[in-house]
Amino acid sequence: MAPLTTLLYALSITSALGSSVSESSKPFSQEFRDNYSVLKHYGGNGPYSERRSYGIDRDPPASCAVDQVIMIKRHGERYPSPSLGAGIEKTLSKLDPKTKYQGDLAFFNDWSYYVPNKCLYNAETSSGPYAGLLDGYTHGTEYRARYGHLWDGDAIVPMWSSGYGRVIETARKFGEGFFGYNYSTNAALNIISESESMGANSLTPVCYANRDSATCDGLSNTMPQFKVAAERLNAQNPGLDLNATDVYYLMSMASFELNARASSKWIDVFTQDEWVSFGYVHDLNYYYCAGPGDKSMSAVGSVYANASLTLLNEGPQKTNPLFFNFAHDTNITPILAALGLLTPEEDLPLDRIPFGNPYSTGDIVPQGGHFTIERLSCDKTAISDAGSYVRLVLNEAVVPFHQCTSGPGYSCPLEEYTTIVKGRLPDFVGQCKVPHKDPKSLNFWWKYNSTTELNYRNGSVPCQEAEAQR
């Protein structure tokens, strides 16, 4: 046994070393690696990541408390759609499992496709660290910690999902996470059909009457850099005949692989610059097909923007404090367009990447992406009056609302928010020619079921399930 003095001596050495280490180590890393992560460059295909924004604190300042939350979440991580799956399979068929591949593809002979059964196309994933079902559940637990004060532990709380298989399953997992042991009795899942005949009473409204889709229809899924990638892989493997379209499908396959597996060797097959190009293919797609580049999308998004404005002005006492909604990526981007959030000053160019582009899909609608509107109830401060304020949070990062940032935590006074939103909302019903017989406004937030019968699926998931009501 060491004498006590030796022991004390040893301890003092350790603590001296400890403090000298902490004095030379940096409390703030100086490494940003140019902010690069592949998670930001596969469009909406792959695992969720939080938005990179402006550093505003996610928590409201001490003078405020959130008193109402209106969220819309895209479904969690999923397998490719059947149509993308068909393209991936066609490209994979150009690779022969019996050939010994070289270079970047050397791993191929030990690799297998992560979609073991075509029935899984369209479905939420359930394996690996980025599993879609896990995303829904985890998000629910995180929001319980953040917004649990808005549930009294007793009330039955409605939630709303559009009627699409994977969206409904995301809503259910989120509910299990948020309500924990009380999910079966205290959540009331409402499923809102995706049918066009729902008109404005929908989480998935459409504007077939007045699309501005010429640019969208002409978009290509390839970029010049994809030709370089194809040339590289073909040169490493004589006989291989990949082209730019194949590279698009292989990169798509790589980005979806992480939704089901802990790693993807395919990601390293392509260079960082090629991923930057791949991301931009998706930015163009969202911008021109479901965002501000299609002039009808603002009208589509105005349905949710307007109805949520009504909720914010009614406040939590009149209706409810919690509004959790579930739909798709292309239902969130029109809402952002209606609010004028992240709209670039000029249309996105088709012939080059406009670096610094605010319309970067990886920060807008990754899988599991969500847009959260918070109503804050604030005390008077040195710079602001007591009252109600609004903050917009996209993928857990605060996005200031235009120039309206005078409130605590750079929030916008509710009154000013209301004036700005009202002033910019187009007329969905007129512009999109909603048929006379179809609903003209969103009313399911006020007229909802308080029954729990849809909280669980009754039966198995059908092959490649898309629209669903249960």
Q: Which residues bind ligand NAG (CB under 6 A)?
A: 32, 34-35, 52, 154, 181-182, 185-186, 190-192, 222, 243-246, 306-307, 310, 427-428, 441, 449, 451, 453-454, 458-459
CB of 453 to ligand NAG, least distance (A): 6
CB atoms within 10 A of CB 265: 16
Q: At what angle do helices 244-260 and 82-92 cross, to 10 degrees?
A: 120
Considering Cα of 233, then 235, then 238, then 242, what sign does the dihedral take?
Answer: positive
Contacts for 162 with CB less than 8 Å, ≥ 6 apart: 191, 192, 193, 194, 202, 203, 204, 326, 327, 328, 331
From 41, 75, 282, 328, the catalytic residue: 75
CB atoms within 10 A of CB 387: 14
CB atoms within 10 A of CB 286: 27
CB of 365 to ligand NAG, least distance (A): 15
Residues 245/221, Cβ–Cβ less than 8 Å? yes
From 135, 283, 329, 363, the catalytic residue: 329
Cβ proximity to ligand NAG: between 20 and 185 the closer is 185
Cβ proximity to ligand NAG: between 243 and 381 the closer is 243
Backbone conformation region of residue 127, classed left if phi is above 0, alpha if psi is from -120 to 50, else beta: beta
Residue with token string 């899988």 = 367
CB of 181 to ligand NAG, least distance (A): 4
Radius of gyration of the chain from its Cα atoms, rounded to whole angstroms:
25
CB of 260 to ligand NAG, least distance (A): 25
Catalytic annotation on 328? no
Indicate the burial class of 151 (C-beta count within 10 angstroms; 0-12, 13-18, 19 or more): middle
Element (H, E) at 119: none
Query: What distance in Å separates the CA atoms of residue 341 and residue 334, rounded to the nearest whole number?
Result: 10
Two tokens, residue 412: 């916008």
Query: What distance in Å separates the CA atoms of residue 103 and residue 219, rounded to the nearest whole number?
Result: 32
Cβ proximity to ligand NAG: between 116 and 153 the closer is 153
CB of 235 to ligand NAG, least distance (A): 17
**If you count them, how many residues does the chain have?**
470
Cβ proximity to ligand NAG: between 143 and 378 the closer is 143
CB of 127 to ligand NAG, least distance (A): 27
Cβ proximity to ligand NAG: between 28 and 181 the closer is 181
Cβ proximity to ligand NAG: between 64 and 192 the closer is 192
Residues forming the active site: 75, 329
